[in-house]
Structure 1
């Protein structure tokens, strides 16, 4: 398989933000066992699949139980600033981990301590000092196959924006998901994929205003986006391919259009104040090993970060015309550094716009 990634920034792979779940506050439990590892995760189908392919085997291998904990970026930062960190390991988008790194809330990863994963097998652009990738995925155009027969669905974001030619309710990512789909809005407005950065925020929101009447709801979690499509609250949506595929595998009548997909990276980090940093590092090491990535990502259907697993990547993720992942043949890479510098500005603009 050809190299998955071709573009990097001063911090490595350029990718868009994955979500921080809007969730209840983390419950403090000072009496928790040293054999438990509290990991911030996206929840939903993600954890269901990962429990049987990663968490339970890790427990059997090490005696350490993984306890998934929902938490927002704000909560993680608040815990760090208060010196009361109740998360041992962070599993989230690389844009979120970049923000935590810049806030001084992460510890460097000791790759020299890895025992399950050969460090040289990790995609170099995803092996960074304070975070390491766990898998690669993308924002894709998702559609109901009982509304749009495969082949008749919108083929690009401009067509997705065309509510007359392709009628029906839509769903897109909102600010609460981590970042709204501004880049996609610009592409729908005629901006080439390789020209979306720096994002013209005003133009993006003007484009969003054109689609807004057709949006039944802006989603805040991947679980909600998939549920809306499965329940037919929306017939077209901007979804993570992993969530869309999990719904398809569960029998939902959904399809994926990969053209102009937006590449995203999920990554691991260890927060300062973790009560079990050695166990956190062991879990990270274990979960990106060749054997575990092969088992896990065969079910979750995402692109691995362990290069030894590339030949085992699901055929659903490969463009048959090129033999490369759809992210390479049809996608564009998001600039997490742009989002880190502009998220506050976008959040203010979103608050004014969404009302």
Structure 2
């Protein structure tokens, strides 16, 4: 992939490759890229319309989850690639709800709850036995999770000499080199990493002291020792090219690069967990089918493991761990072995403070 000309978030990467085909036709449905409607005329709860971000990710979601779900239940799925909080809101307010299961970012989820746009999840239909503790919410499930981690180039930093915590990662004396950090605060947890480096315990990170985090970064490693990336593929490019030897990244990106032969590694310990939600719009005519799909996604071990291995992402499905190699399973945010050593990003704090924090961060980057 070429270097981006504009900032790209984690989720926009999922759209890559969608091209003009913004809808993935599944089970016979034919949809256009500009439509927000399902064309299904099936009886209620015999079909479910899902919206996500498109590209190869939608193809993978169809293969690993939706097709096996149909085979097991007989419920057909239509997968769209035009997910949008604005469109969800329009459908709910108009009373013409066409979507049944909608992918939202964490801040969008908080906003949708606050605006009363969502159905409560029915945990009588959805078993929570397969869900990690962080994933279950009243109006949705954080079904997809990422770990913001410290990564290194094994050619220059052997695993035995790699940083074991954020204080070591930022220690300029220990690693006299520049570091690449993610500059998009909507996804980046570099400020949390700075507070963790100062020894602040997990339960005291929020409300986030932004100024304290920036003061730490100004000294460790120093403002001039930081390179900022704005797209998910950049850390892998920077590490493999030798531009940097240390970088923040996401666990799935480094795992994918390792599969391709890159000599990179990362530490899940002290990672910061974030993720996307699946929600059901208020007024969905197929909400029972949507809940049954969420139950399948959360508890079917084979489907969950296939999803994790195919996408290099992590489904909120703990039974899948037993189907994966231990070397992989133990690094995933769903692993019970990591429960006490990762920080769960506070979605409500970021939903309220993102804009102001982004402005403060940009001023700091500029030297103000």
TM-score (norm 1): 0.72
Instruction: Give the whole-Å Cα distance in 2 for the aligned partners of 1:126 and 1:304.
Output: 10
Range 166-175 or range 311-320, more displaced: 311-320
Segments of 5+ residues of structure 1 without an aligned counterpart are: 1-17
Question: Which deviations, in whole Å up to 9, do the C-alpha atoms of 1:24-79 show, x marking residues without a partner?
Answer: 9x8532575337834224x677556544322443466543242344x6xxx52476
Contact 1:157 1:188 in 2 (8 A): yes
**Structure 1 partner of 2:353:** 342
More displaced 10-residue stretch of structure 1: 301-310 or 186-195? 301-310
Tell me, yes or no, if structure 1 residue 202 matches structure 2 residue 211.
Answer: yes
CA distance in 2, matches of 1:263, 1:216: 22
> Corresponding residue for 1:213?
224
Aligned mate of 2:35, from 17, 29, 53:
29
CA displacement, residues 160-219 of structure 1 (integer Å, 9 cap, x when unaligned): 213453244433233354354211012234434443222211111223345543333333
Task: State yes or no: 1:284 paired with 2:294.
Answer: yes
Corresponding residue number in structure 1 for 2:115: 103
CA contact (8 A) 2:51 2:81 kept: yes
Alignment of 1:1-355 (within 5 A): 20-21=11-12, 28-29=34-35, 33-34=39-40, 37-41=49-53, 47=58, 49-58=60-69, 62-69=75-82, 76-77=85-86, 80=89, 88-92=100-104, 94=106, 96-112=108-124, 114=125, 118-123=127-132, 126-175=135-184, 177-210=186-219, 211-220=222-231, 222-230=232-240, 232-272=242-282, 277=287, 280-291=290-301, 292-300=303-311, 305-312=316-323, 314-316=325-327, 325-355=336-366
Tell which structure's C-alpha radius of gyration is larger.
2
Secondary structure of 1:146's aligned partner: coil
In structure 1, how many angstroms separate the alpha carbons of the residues matched to 2:100 and 2:234?
A: 26
Question: Does the 8 Å contact 1:94/1:131 carry over to 2?
Answer: no
> Does structure 1 conserve the Cα–Cα contact (< 8 Å) formed by 2:179 and 2:246?
yes
Secondary structure of 1:207 counterpart: helix
Taking only aligned residues, the RMSD between alpha carbons, in angstroms, comes to 3.9
The answer on whether the counterparts of 1:45 and 1:246 sit within 8 Å (CA) in structure 2 is no
Contact conserved, 1:301 with 1:313, CA < 8 A, in 2?
A: no
Bigger drift between 134-143 and 188-197 goes to 188-197
Alignment TM-score, normalising by the size of structure 2? 0.70
* Residue 142 of structure 1: how far off its partner (Å): 1.0
Cα separation, 2, equivalents of 1:212 and 1:48: 41
| Contact 2:189/2:272 (<8 A) preserved | no
Give, in whole Å, the separation in 1 of the partners of 2:324 and 2:315.
Answer: 7
Q: CA deviation at 1:228?
A: 4.6
SS in 2 for 1:133: strand
Contact 1:19–1:93, Cα closer than 8 Å, also in 2: no
Q: Provide the rounded CA distance (Å) in 1 between the counterparts of 2:68 and 2:243.
A: 37
Q: Which has the higher contact order (CA 8 A, sep 6+)?
A: 1
Q: 1:261 to 1:123 in 2, by over 3 A?
A: closer
Contact 2:152 2:266 in 1 (8 A): yes
Is there any run of 5+ residues in structure 2 with no aligned partner, and where? 1-8, 17-21, 23-32, 41-46
Size of the alignment, in residue pairs?
325
